[in-house]
Amino acid sequence: MSGSLSIAGLGPGSETMITPDVQQAIDEATDIVGYIPYVRRIVPRAGLTLHESDNRVEIDRANHALDMAQSGRRVVVVSSGDPGVFAMASAVFEALEAGHDARRTIDIRVLPGITAMLAAAAAAGAPLGHDFCAINLSDNLKPWHLIEKRLRLAAEADFAMAFYNPRSKSRPEGFARTLTILREACEPTRLITFAHAVSTPDQALTTVKLADATPDMADMRTVVLVGSSQTRIIERAGAPIVYTPRSVAVE
């Protein structure tokens, strides 16, 4: 049997956001590998082995998946959201590059999914409707000064911004520092949306002005969207709509 490795995105939480490509890979898999809460989204069946692992063991997990694929298994590594956005695809390729050359013949595919920031943006309206950036606020894997530099330059470029991992258990002060930098760089009326558990039954969206944002508005299940200077809010009876127009006037 010829083995394969698919690195697949399960989307932000709702089963109705999983693409047919990803569903087919899961249906044909012999082994599913991933972080515990993502593997638990897979329906068990005969012939399918589920391999759960804890957070922060991404390279071990990647090596395990590569070894099984090389031995002839049809392996799917599952990520939340899109596997190419702050998720498992880069970890698998780091392990592939560091490992022995024979692994490079493995049939590897990345299957995209709906990443959290785009599901959050859709739930809010269209705050990322113009040029934007995505920044992982966790400083586990990069120095804080680089995060700070990127935040300041992103504000100067007037990008809308999406923040992943805004608030970790181990470093809760990071998001407070982020808000301080944004307040130095942006006007106090800048719109900021906190999108908690998007597309799940726990989904909750809150949009406030930057001056009114507080660190506790973000937790580990929140994606934060910061508008550009052009981002607008449409008030109405239900939830407001937050969007960034397509055009910027010539000054």
Q: In this structure, are residues 2 and 106 in contact, taking their beta carbons and an 8 Å threshold?
A: no
Q: Is 156 in the site for a copy of itself (CB under 8 A)?
A: yes
Select the residue interacting with a copy of itself from 125, 166, 174, 227 (CB under 8 A).
Answer: 125
17 token code pair: 């956001």
Closer CB to a copy of itself, residue 20 or residue 201? Answer: 20
Nearest approach in angstroms of CB 176 to a copy of itself is 20
Nearest approach in angstroms of CB 113 to a copy of itself is 8
> Which range, of 45-53, 133-141, 165-173, 203-211, touches a copy of itself by CB under 8 A?
133-141
**Residue of 20, 21, 19, 45 lying closest to 32 (CA atoms):** 45
State which of positions 25-84 bind a copy of itself (CB under 8 A).
58, 82-84
Are β-strands 222-226 and 191-196 bridged in parallel, bridged antiparallel, or unpaired? antiparallel
Q: Is 227 in the site for a copy of itself (CB under 8 A)?
A: no
> Which range, of 38-46, 48-56, 116-124, 203-211, touches a copy of itself by CB under 8 A?
116-124
Q: Is 181 in the site for a copy of itself (CB under 8 A)?
A: no
State which of positions 202-221 bind a copy of itself (CB under 8 A).
none
Residue 32, beta-bridge partner list: 50, 76
Distances in Å between the Cα of 177 and the Cα atoms of 149, 151, 218, 236 are: 12, 11, 13, 33
In the structure, how many helices (H) and strands (E) does the chain have?
7, 13
